[in-house]
A and B are shown apart, each in its own frame.
Chain A
Amino acid sequence: DGGITQSPKYLFRKEGQNVTLSCEQNLNHDAMYWYRQDPGQGLRLIYYSQIVNDFQKGDIAEGYSVSREKKESFPLTVTSAQKNPTAFYLCASRKSSGSTDTQYFGPGTRLTVL
């Protein structure tokens, strides 16, 4: 089965600690995205990568970092510089077909910083 996996589903960390969220896809998609979602809100883009070894900041990149060493993997690190890290984090990859594109999402990781 092709898809996107995120782990873990729930994550608890103490304030001041860095934490890395995993995102893996076996859909052979070039582009991958990280979003943050707060309660009752839509998704906000943190980082995106259109190709291996390249990534760009989204709207709320401060306090986050990413890497894209492999096509299948796009891990997100939430650093201690992120002032309000408790949120639901979603990873997506994009299939492009002609002039349209569709994003496919993982199940999400709910991060709680204590």
Chain B
Amino acid sequence: DAKTTQPPSMDCAEGRAANLPCNHSTISGNEYVYWYRQIHSQGPQYIIHGLKNNETNEMASLIITEDRKSSTLILPHATLRDTAVYYCIVRVPPRSNYQLIWGAGTKLIIKP
């Protein structure tokens, strides 16, 4: 199973873009990269996922490098409500139980 590495914490100023990196150097060709976030004492919330191409939705953008060994989640205009722990997860291939392997994530603090 591909593992991920994220910085334990980051700060970002309100209104600026927050760029959260993730390394997944052992990712295999059919594994997707998922991003979730967890606001304190709540259940995690799905943000975005991707395989090879860059993806964008109403919450964020996901940039995956050409070799797929790393990715960056971008929150374009961070607000105080974006303060949370952000998890980068590589999905285990379909033959298994669709288990998501969760690391400790990056604690993102948005400062006024």
Report which A residues bind B (CB closer than 8 A): 4, 6, 31, 35, 40-45, 48, 50, 56, 58, 88, 90, 92, 94, 96, 99-108, 110
Please determine whether B99 and A105 come into contact, CB atoms closer than 8 angstroms. no
Please determine whether A58 and B49 come into contact, CB atoms closer than 8 angstroms. no
Query: Which residue of A is nearest B104, CB measured?
Result: A42
Report which B residues bind A (CB closer than 8 A): 32, 34, 36, 41-46, 49, 87, 91, 94, 97-100, 102-105
> How far does the alpha carbon of A94 sit from the alpha carbon of B43 in the complex, in Å?
14
A-B contact pairs, 22 of them (CB 8 A): A6-B43, A35-B102, A40-B104, A42-B104, A43-B100, A44-B102, A45-B99, A50-B97, A90-B43, A94-B98, A96-B98, A99-B94, A100-B32, A102-B34, A103-B36, A103-B44, A103-B46, A103-B100, A105-B45, A107-B43, A108-B42, A108-B43
